[in-house]
Copies of this chain bind each other. A is one copy, B any other.
Amino acid sequence: MSVTDQSQTTSTTALNNRRWIYSTRPAAEVSVNNYRLEEQALDTELANNEVLIANRYISVDPYMRIQQSAKNNWEAPHPLNTLQQAGVVAQVVSSRSELFRPGDWVTAYTGWELFSKVHQNALLKLDPAMAPVTTALGVLGMPGRTAWFGFNDAGKPKPGDTVVVSGAAGAVGSLVVQFAKLAGCRVIGICGSNDKCDWLTKELGADAAINYREHSTTDALQSKLAEFSGVDIYFDNIGGWITDAVVPLINRRARIVICGQMSQYNGQLDQPELGPRLLHHMLYQRATIQGILARDFNHRMDEMVGQVAPWVADGSIKFEQTVVEGFENLPETLAGLLSSRNRGKVLVKVSEAV
């Protein structure tokens, strides 16, 4: 039986799809009140080369909150009253593509919904034997790509460099910590709990970890960081007062990689917070600040996976996932991500594999 035949057997039924619609712009913290849950009949008829997928794992990522800012970011803000866009890991339900068969594991960029119809060109097949399929949303997906190219291309590490990572226990930060150790750097992670500190130093190999809640002013955090005598690479996921503490400690020709500014996402992108001016430090140290986005390295995905997948397979790179159960929990899981409740990659399991 051909794949096309299979798909045609399901082409006249309809599925009950559930979708989280982004409906109002959050003024500060995002919550379930900014979303509306819709139920929609999904006609399963497929166009040529189209595939129907059932989402199993749906991603929540900090960039989603950037896209909810009222101001343009890298593009126009996420439109209101449309499906919340997101990366997913899914299984093929039916297919009119010769490339995909029912049951295949795939990853795609669709959104917070149970089912999606996707052109074959927008699907990437996953091999569950190579790595857990969920890694396509983490270490072998967008966060991994961000960490790998952000750290290597923009960070330009050398053995012996001192690397400070903010948001070090997050999906990207926890990978940067490990990539930096593999590159022969000394690594100090900044995170928000003693448990995370222990994880960073005992499991991921960080040379030191600082709980910013125990050094909770710019001066206090800076004093603590100053024990490490200068920063060559600052990989910044957080921004705000934590970054204020790090910048005056940079070494000559330091590289500051702006990967995220999570401390600013709950309103301060629309109305910037005030902070101490810092550009003179760039002058003094002939240092560089570079902003990076995962999408800039889409075309180099193979390169990242080729490097990192063997390290995941042999345990050289550890990855941690926080899997929240239940489609209904997507909005609150995004909110929790932004208040850094979890460690590693956070995703939501929305249906059972078949």
List residues of chain A with CB under 8 Å of any chain B CB.
Answer: 66, 72-74, 236, 239-240, 243, 258-261, 264, 268-269, 272-293, 296
Number of copies: 2
Q: Would you call the interface of chain A mostly helix, strand, loop, or mixed? A: mixed
Whole-angstrom distance between the alpha carbons of A182 and B292 in the complex? 31
User: Please, which residues of chain B bring their CB within 8 A of the CB of A239?
Assistant: 277, 279-280
State whether A283 touches B258 (Cβ < 8 A). yes
State whether B272 touches A276 (Cβ < 8 A). yes
State whether B272 touches A277 (Cβ < 8 A). yes
State whether A283 touches B296 (Cβ < 8 A). no
Partner of A287, one of B73, B243, B291: B291
User: Please, which residues of chain B bring their CB within 8 A of the CB of A279?
Assistant: 236, 239, 243, 258, 261, 289, 291
State whether A277 touches B240 (Cβ < 8 A). yes
Whole-angstrom distance between the alpha carbons of A261 and B277 in the complex? 10
State whether B288 touches A278 (Cβ < 8 A). no
State whether A288 touches B289 (Cβ < 8 A). yes
Name 29 A/B residue pairs within 8 A (Cβ), A-sorted: A72-B284, A73-B280, A73-B284, A239-B280, A240-B277, A258-B282, A258-B283, A261-B279, A261-B280, A261-B283, A264-B277, A274-B274, A274-B275, A274-B277, A275-B275, A275-B276, A275-B277, A279-B291, A282-B290, A282-B291, A283-B291, A283-B292, A283-B293, A285-B291, A286-B290, A286-B291, A286-B296, A289-B289, A289-B290
State whether B288 touches A288 (Cβ < 8 A). yes
State whether B269 touches A280 (Cβ < 8 A). yes
Minimum C-beta distance from A290 to chain B (A) = 5
